[in-house]
Every structure is written in structure tokens, then in C-alpha cells.
Amino acid sequence: MEKLCFGENMTEHESFGQLRDSRLDKTPGASIMCYEPNRKILSPSPKSILTLALRQTAPRWKSATSQSDSWNALPMQTYLHLHELFLDYLVVACHILGGQPPRRSELLRLRITRTAESDRNLFLLNGQVMMVLRYHKGQAKSGMEKIMPRSLPAQVGKLVLCYLYFVRPFIVMIQRILRIVPCGMSSLMWAKDSIGKNSWDPARLRILMQRHTERYMGVELHIPAWRQIAVAMDRDLLRTPKDLIESTEYDDEGKEVSLLEQDYNGQVGHSTKVADQHYGLKIEDIPGLDQSILVRYRSVAQKWHQLMGMVLEGNDTTIVCIS
């Protein structure tokens, strides 16, 4: 981001803390940037970045001649490639740091501006940037879609706001100068790239995840592997037995369920039953059996052991009487 802002740290802009959002605005074109109270505080404009660009001495963005000033295409094309690199990092950051990982198709449909056909799903709530992604798997069977909010950390949220208010309008200006099609701001965060060649698709996010994890961890992780690892980390490092016990209630079938566990699993887009049977399993786990079933059936077996004259001592069973 600092390279896109020519060395300036614009993510700490004082106006970002004053911005608000209206989730009830249903007019086409509605966004965080177009919300009227925000426009009085800070309007998205390419002028701030343009001023910094024109100060560059090498390479110069404009070549002054005796007749007129003309734009230099080379620094503009270099800037567009740097912009694509930034978006590569941003999509991975949003995928990993927004909570339990969404599916690729959901994340890549992140809409920053409302259109006549579709609502936006990027909001600002209490100063925090939030992605409200829609989960469509199973919609044909259930007749409804699931809506799962994911909050971005403050550092990533500032990157998003800085990008939308300063960098993105500047990209549109460059596209118009270079006559790159399509020029104009898309309603999607990740639409066609700014060079006008490639479209964002799920395969691109997979490649980015593999590239960055191999670079920083030494192991290539594709999306399904990361979803498994994220669930396992969440289950072992975030959830505590006390939290799960204190947040229980009874469902429609009279079964005791943990609300907290449902929230953790729901953000990944599956039920607790599916999570226990298929996600984040340990080596010793038995495929097809979730933890609750193992605990209940083990209790039944232990009562049978006692009836047969067996006594449990820790994890061992000791014969005390057979007559």
C-alpha cells in the first residue's frame, strides 16, 4: 500500500475513524464511499495519489514539451501491475484473517457497491470493516441462502478503506488515460484485473494461497487443506470446554447444543454435525463418527463393563470378578 501511495502511509488517515455506514440504503450505487455523511468527511478522489505521482522525478508521469504535456505510459503500466500484486495479497489476507475461511466463490463475489440487481456485502459497522458473505451451497434443497458476517482486523480494514478512497479512483483514472477496457469502477472488489486481461476466478485464489504459504511456511496449502487446518486450529486453540458448556441450549428436537460451537462451525458454512464428521479431524479420529456420538456410546459401553464386573481405572479396564 505504501508503494501504491508513493511512500506515504495513508492507511492512518484521521478521517477513517469518523466514517459511518448505512446498511438500509437500497439505492443503486450505495456504498461506504457514497454515503452522504461520509462524503462530507472524505470523498473518494484520485487527486491525492495523482499529486504524489506527479512529484516523482524518475520515471516522470508527464513529459513536458514545448507544445504540451503528455502522459508517460510506462509508469502507469508499472503502477497497474503493482495494483494487481496488492490485490493478490489483499484477497489472501481477507480469506485468512476474516474469521473462519469462506469458500472461494463467496469471497470473490465481495461487492463494494450496490447495483440494481444485487446488494452490496461490504459494510462498516462500529468502525470495523465487515464482509457479509452469502453461502449458496444447499440453497436449492433448503430454499434459502445463509448469510455469514466476517469482521476484518483493524489493520486489514484500514487497507481496504485506503484502497477504496484513494487508490481505486486513481486506477480508474489511469485506465481511462490508457483506454483500457473495461474502464470505470466495478461494483466488485475483485473484478477483471486493472490490466484488462484476466478475470478473477477460484483457481486464482488457490494459486495465490499455494504461492504465499510455500513462500512463508515452506509448505504449499490449497484451499481445502487450509479449511481443514483452520477448523482444527479453531477447535483446539479457541474453543474452551467452559465456553461450550456455558453457551448451551436445547434445539427443536430436545438435544442440548452449544451455541458457540454452532457459531464457529456456521461461519465456515456447515453444521456442527458435518464439522465433527469431516473437518479438522485428528489422526486418531474415526471417519464418519463425530465426538458427541463417541462420548455417548462410550458411556453406554462403560455401563456394560460395570455390569460385567469390570472397573474403569483411568483409561484401563481391570477384571475384578468373573463368576
**DSSP string over 251-272:** -TTS-EEEHHHHHHHHHHTS-H
* Higher pLDDT, residue 82 or 200: 82
Looking at residue 77, what is its pLDDT?
A: 92
pLDDT tens track for 139-184: 555 566 677 888 899 999 999 999 999 999 999 999 888 888 665 6
* 98 within 8 A of 189, measured Cβ to Cβ: no
Q: At what angle do helices 202-217 and 223-233 cross, to 10 degrees?
A: 60
Looking at residue 322, what is its pLDDT?
A: 44
Across the range 18-22, mean pLDDT stands at 90
pLDDT tens track for 180-224: 866 566 888 988 666 555 668 888 889 999 999 999 889 999 888
CB atoms within 10 A of CB 317: 13
Across the range 8-33, mean pLDDT stands at 89
Bridge partner residues of 132 (DSSP):
149
Distances (CA, A) of 257 to 245, 252, 253, 262, 271: 9, 10, 10, 8, 11
Query: What percentage of the chain carries pLDDT values higher than 90?
Result: 29
pTM > 0.85: no
pLDDT of residue 254 exceeding 60, the answer is: no
CB atoms within 10 A of CB 279: 19
